[in-house]
Amino acid sequence: MKNRGVLIVLAAVVIAGAAAYALYQRSRPAASPAQTQPAGTARESPLAETKTAAAHASFASEGTSVNYVREHLGHVILCLEGPRGMNVNAAWDNPCQGQGNGVLNDLGSAGASWSLVAQTADDLAVRALRSGVLAEMKVAASGVAALMKLIAEAP
């Protein structure tokens, strides 16, 4: 019961922080053409993985059973960490296969400002996966989905 409250508070803090960061990013003046990255740079590399992770986090947030939510949180972790990630179970299907080596690996220095957000999403997904309490898992999955959408929609 105590862990449930902590996880809910953590998810709320993450979602609020992500929303504030998004507002901050959107309120900044637009970059000049010389400051923007050209097409095909490292920033674009994890985009497909990020969108796939966001979709699976959304699936998890709407799940009606622990097994369903666990399956999709596993997919999120695979997309974030890549197939050789520390928290990856080799038995999980990899919906991000062929899209890259995991968002955390593919962001590189070009996405350094988003690495903390991606790492937070990964940490939240791992904790939710280990929770085993459906309500906690779903709330955390909602937070993960919001964080992944922030990265996917980043300027």
Domain coordinates of the chain in residue numbers?
2-24+43-152
Give the angle 18-57-47 at the CA atoms, nearest 5°: 70
Is the pTM for the entire model greater than 0.85? no
pLDDT tens, residue order, the chain (155 aa) = 555 554 554 545 455 454 444 443 443 334 333 333 333 434 345 789 999 999 999 999 999 999 999 999 999 999 999 999 999 998 999 999 999 999 999 887 666 778 999 999 999 999 999 999 999 999 999 999 999 999 998 87
Helix axes 134-152, 2-27, angle to 10 degrees: 10
Residues listed for the chain: 155
